[in-house]
Structure 1
Amino acid sequence: MSTEDRALALVLGETRPEPGELATLFRALPPVEPGGLTGLWRGGVFDPDDRMARLLTRLRWYGKRFTDPENVDPLVCRTDDGALYTYDGMGSARLREVVRDGVASAAMIYDGRPIIDHFRRISADVLMGAMDAKGEAAVLYFHLTHQPVEP
């Protein structure tokens, strides 16, 4: 099974990742061009028990919106009635190419927080992300799927 196939199986929830597998998969996936992320992306987490994943669940995190490299809504969430809104509690962000594990790829840098979300490509419409937050011992791995239209 290819790296991309294994990562996609995890995104689809077909199996659970083995310890350390997400980091290994992330390092093996190909890079993403920052300019290719425009639009709305629906998010999900691989480990719902992770502390940061539980916070995202409480916020009703839907995903991320990339308007252009300078204007990113890092936390798009849902209201009680299902409508989407931008959660402003973490501020905005921008896209840059950043090296992680020796590979230059698109990364979302929060404007006012010491957090970088690094991205790698699983398929044309699916990305794997690695949230690197200063002061956090663990990396939160997550996934994003491009949405052709806003719900």
Structure 2
Amino acid sequence: MNPTEAHARFQELREHDGQVDPLELDAVWAELDTVSPEEILGDWKGGEFRTGHPLDGMLAKADWYGKSFLSVHDAKPLVCRNAAGELYSNLELGQGEASLWTVEFRGESTATMAYDGRPVFDHFKRVDGNTLMGIMNAKGVPAEGPFYYFFLERAPGIRLAAPAPRATEES
């Protein structure tokens, strides 16, 4: 597969209504260009590839919208919708927020988001100027996976609602 074929295959897999073979996603990933953290700053709307991974559908249940990278040290990995339809950074689900780094994954250095409160990394590669492919990797996941595959599309500026107050044991 060459880069042009990888872009076309990415679109086909993204539009596929059903389960996607992770090996096909890996073949696409291998042909995509790496990115730097600075190149991906901004707001992104997300979606997932259903591969049979245990996380399939879990973000939808949390009403996940996407991610917001305000700076390399201020990344909001789980922008979700609240009951009023407003977007907010779901600190509880993510156990905090995140930061962007350049990390080697599969022999290539690319932009990677490190979660503050979880041993989780989201690695990114460029599909085109407005689309990223992501692979979530975590502590304890073998080199061959299973990985969680997702995509991000540039979105207009996200206006986040104030975070909901955290429940305390006393309330």
TM-score by length of 1: 0.90
Give CA-to-partner distance per residue, 1:80-134, whole Å, 9 cap, x none. 2321011002111100111111111100011221100000111100000000012
Q: Secondary structure at the match of 1:51?
A: coil
Once the two structures are TM-superposed, the CA of residue 78 in structure 1 deviates from its matched residue by: 0.7
- Structure 1 alignment gaps of length 5 or more: none
Q: How does 1:2-151 map to 2 (within 5 A)?
A: 2-13=5-16, 17-47=20-50, 49-89=52-92, 90=94, 91-136=96-141, 137-150=145-158
What residue in structure 1 maps to residue 165 of structure 2?
A: none
Larger radius of gyration: 2
Q: In structure 2, give the amino acid aligned to 1:85.
A: Y
Cα 1:30–1:15 change in 2 (3 A) is farther
- Structure 2 alignment gaps of length 5 or more: 160-171
Q: CA RMSD in A?
A: 2.0
Give CA-to-partner distance per residue, 1:11-66, whole Å, 9 cap, x none. 23478633511122112211011101121100000107532132211111111000
Q: In structure 2, give the amino acid aligned to 1:25.
A: V
Structure ranking higher in strand proportion: 1
Partner Cα distance (2:127, 2:11) in 1: 7
Aligned length: 151
What residue in structure 1 maps to residue 167 of structure 2?
A: none
Q: In structure 1, give the amino acid aligned to 2:61.
A: R
Partner Cα distance (1:61, 1:35) in 2: 23
Partner Cα distance (1:46, 1:100) in 2: 19
8 Å contact 1:40–1:147 — kept in the other structure?
Answer: yes
